[in-house]
Amino acid sequence: MNGPEILKRASVLAFAAACAGLHPARGQAMNTYWAKIGGWDMSSSATKTVNLGGIEPANIVAITVIIHTDPVTIGGSPRVEADRLDRTGFGEVGQTVTPSNYMGRGGSFEVTALSSVTLYRGSDLQGCGASCQHNRFLQGLHSGSTGNRGWVRVDYVGTPVNASQPYAIKTKVLTIGSWNVAGATNKDVNFANFGYPVNRVASFQATLVSDDQIVVSDIIRTGPSGSFGGIAVLTDKVSPPLAVLRRGPYSDYFNGAWSWNFDGTQNRGFIKADYLAAECNEGSGYTRSFIGFAADGGDCHGNNGSGAAAVHVIQTQGGDIWSTADKFAFANKPKTGSDLTIKARVDKIENTNTWARAGIMLRASLAANSRHVAMVVTPKPASGSGNGIGFTVRTSDGGATLETSPNTLSAPYWVLLQKTGSTFKGYVSASGTGDPVSNPSAWTQVGAAATVAFPATYYAGLCQTAGNNTPARYNTSVYSGLNF
């Protein structure tokens, strides 16, 4: 690039920034709301309305809708697929649409009323019925109406809606790998590399990057001079399951007729998939206890997997773990013995209050005023440092609660309690590797050791409180790696 060219571009940029009403929106706090679509018999109902929990429409930044198919058998192979509802496309401008080039099974969605989104299934443009594989979404093969049909992801700015999300959604981004798009219309990516099944996908997007990395595009985009949208669909039809990518029929974009090439051998782009790590269902092996307040209905303790691999989600109200009596939810198991080490990773804590707490606890009884020790994580607010991770102790039933919180840490972080007879110590760790005995460099003690006389049988588990209950508000927090 020569000097005049640089000046020309600088002028263009300056002019555009000044005149285009551009707001980079840096620092905007973005929230994500997940809504299950629920049952939708797409063979008989063209639309489905999904509640968005009170989100202001003007604050919606992005919506992604994922549809899960019913199990179907095609070519003798049973499969379940995940697909985006808004995928394209219908072919090029003026192109005669045939079953072979018809890639459209797209639907659509729109927000036209306060805080709900209407989903529309796609249409059978070609009229070829179930014989068109690409029409599967439209042809009544998705008649199941009781199972969950998919997910709506809504990213939004502004005040968080007062509706907790009892789901643990995680994200992985996978490289597509090499794909000479100019020479091969399709690309299969081994979806098994994500490490979870297709039926747990809650949202995904596929992005193409040009050889010289100067152009990035959504693979389902439509084109600047017509439709050359591609498709991306996830399927478990084979072993391993695949992410099937297909470029659109319009070739100029891909064959170098434009300034960008897609025929190299380097990584061609990315697949970003959000997946349901754990759902808020009753977990196994834990007792739900509401300490100091009545069962709040929204409480649920879920897990996925077993042992240290489990992911736990707790949704509850609760006031606080403080003073002489507590109000919180406790997913616990009775324990005996002189010594115990319990640790867990608090993956996320919802910011329902600066004193919302999520962590681990050892408790003498299930009474509200019971002796206990706990390591509790508080939220990191949008501004300010928060209240950190604290070591909380009540040494006698009905006594005052003392807390040592000399840090500004928050989730995700590991917490650990170590019981040796009547001596208790609390630790934090970024990595969670081992324990303070086997790997002392990985753990930092919080506060001083506490002495609390515990009965022979006591309770151990996850403790959580929303930090306020006027007005009542549910707090949803996520844990993993619980081990004791």
Contacts of 23 by beta carbon, 8 Å cutoff, 6+ apart: none
How many whole angstroms separate alpha carbon 123 and alpha carbon 160?
35
Choice between 28 and 51, CB closer to another protein = 28
Helix (H, G, I), strand (E, B), or coil: what is residue 6? helix
Task: Give me the phi and psi of 317, to 5 degrees please.
Answer: -95, -120
Amino acid at 423: T
Which one, 20 or 294, has the nearer CB to another protein? 20
What gap in Å lies between CA 79 and CA 125, rounded to an integer? 24
Q: Least distance to another protein from the beta carbon of 241, Å? A: 13
Count the residues in the chain: 484
Q: Least distance from C-beta 111 to another protein, angstroms? A: 4
d(CA 109, CA 124): 17
- Please, which residue, 25 or 294, has the CB nearer to another protein? 25
d(CA 1, CA 14): 18
Provide the minimum distance between the beta carbon of 178 and another protein in the complex, in angstroms, as a whole number.
6
Which are the contacts of 315, defined by CB distance < 8 A and separation ≥ 6? 164, 166, 280, 298, 299, 300, 474, 475, 476
DSSP summary character for residue 95: P
Closest to another protein by CB, 207 or 387: 207
Alpha carbon distance, N-terminus to C-terminus of the chain: 62
Judge residue 300's burial from the number of C-beta atoms within 10 Å of its C-beta, 0-12 exposed, 13-18 middle, 19 or more buried: buried
* Least separation in angstroms between CB 187 and another protein: 10
Is the bond leading into 471 cis (omega within 30 degrees of zero)? yes
* Nearest distance, CB of residue 87 and another protein, angstroms: 8
Tell the smallest beta-carbon distance from residue 145 to another protein (Å).
Answer: 20
Closer of 317 and 410 to another protein (Cβ)? 410
The region that residue 130 occupies, defined by phi over 0 for left and psi between -120 and 50 for alpha, beta otherwise, is alpha
Which is nearer to another protein, 98 or 213 (by Cβ)? 213
Minimum CB separation of residue 127 from another protein in Å reads 9
| Nearer Cβ to another protein (187/301) | 187
Closest Cα to residue 94, out of 225, 231, 5, 192? Answer: 225
Residue (62 or 295) nearer to another protein, CB:
62
> What is the distance between the alpha carbons of residues 206 and 186, in angstroms, rounded to a whole number?
13
CB 269 to another protein: min, Å: 8
Identity of the residue, 12 or 448, whose beta carbon is nearer to another protein in the bound complex = 12
| Closer residue to another protein in complex, CB, 36/172 | 172
Number of Cβ within a 10 Å radius of residue 92: 18
String of b and e for 45-73 (b: at least 16 CB within 10 Å)? Answer: eeebebebbebeeebbeebbbbbbbbebe
In whole angstroms, the minimum distance from the beta carbon of 214 to another protein comes to 5
Shortest CB 116 distance to another protein, Å: 11
